[in-house]
């Protein structure tokens, strides 16, 4: 069986935010070492780290037209169903691909975030 692990930060500061400065260098190095160990496991394959939610673009299709909204998808009743990794020339090209995902027109949404590197 295969599982997708969607990681929520909880109260731990997001990388690249002012709050992240409160994390000691020792704690930061320890966390990165833990991630390196996980990434070295044969049965674990990680996806690229997501950019921050405020940099997301949410895509919906309404009445056959693609509608974009700045920011993350917000619906407390909706569950994350998975993710796709897309190589695209720019945000517009990524939005065009996102608008083809069925959930974009079936009452859900697709959140587009540029991949980011924090370490």
Is residue 5 assigned to a domain?
no
Q: What is the pTM of this model?
A: 0.60
| Structure-token pair, residue 102 | 């069925």
In 3-state terms, what secondary structure has residue 106?
coil
Q: Using 50 as the pLDDT threshold, list the residues of the chain that sit under it.
A: none
In a domain, 34, yes or no: no
Residue 48 lies in a domain: no
pLDDT of residue 66: 94
Is residue 12 included in any domain, yes or no?
no
Number of domains comprising the chain: 1
| Residue 116 to residue 81: CA distance in whole angstroms | 21
Q: What is the pLDDT of residue 62?
A: 92
pLDDT score recorded for residue 80: 67
Half-sphere exposure at residue 37, Cβ-oriented, CA atoms within 13 angstroms = 6
User: What is the model's pLDDT at position 81?
Assistant: 63
Asked if residue 102 is part of any domain, the answer here is yes
Report the sign of the C-alpha dihedral through residues 36, 37, 41, 47, in that order: negative
Residues of the domain holding 77: 53-112
Q: Is residue 18 situated within a structural domain?
A: no
pLDDT of residue 7: 65
Determine the pLDDT at residue 32. 82
What pLDDT does residue 67 have?
A: 94
Please check whether residue 39 lies inside any domain of the structure: no
């Amino acid at each position: 069986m295969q599982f997708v692990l969607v990681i929520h930060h909880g109260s731990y500061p997001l990388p690249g935010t002012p709050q992240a400065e409160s994390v000691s260098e020792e704690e930061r190095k320890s966390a990165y070492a833990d991630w390196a160990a996980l990434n070295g496991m044969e049965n674990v394959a990680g996806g690229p780290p997501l950019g921050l939610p405020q940099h997301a673009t949410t895509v919906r299709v309404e009445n056959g037209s693609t509608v974009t909204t700045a920011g993350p998808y917000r619906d407390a009743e909706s569950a994350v169903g998975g993710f796709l990794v897309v190589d695209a020339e720019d945000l517009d090209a990524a939005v065009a691909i996102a608008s083809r995902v069925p959930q974009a027109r079936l009452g859900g949404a697709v959140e587009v975030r540029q991949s980011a590197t924090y370490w």
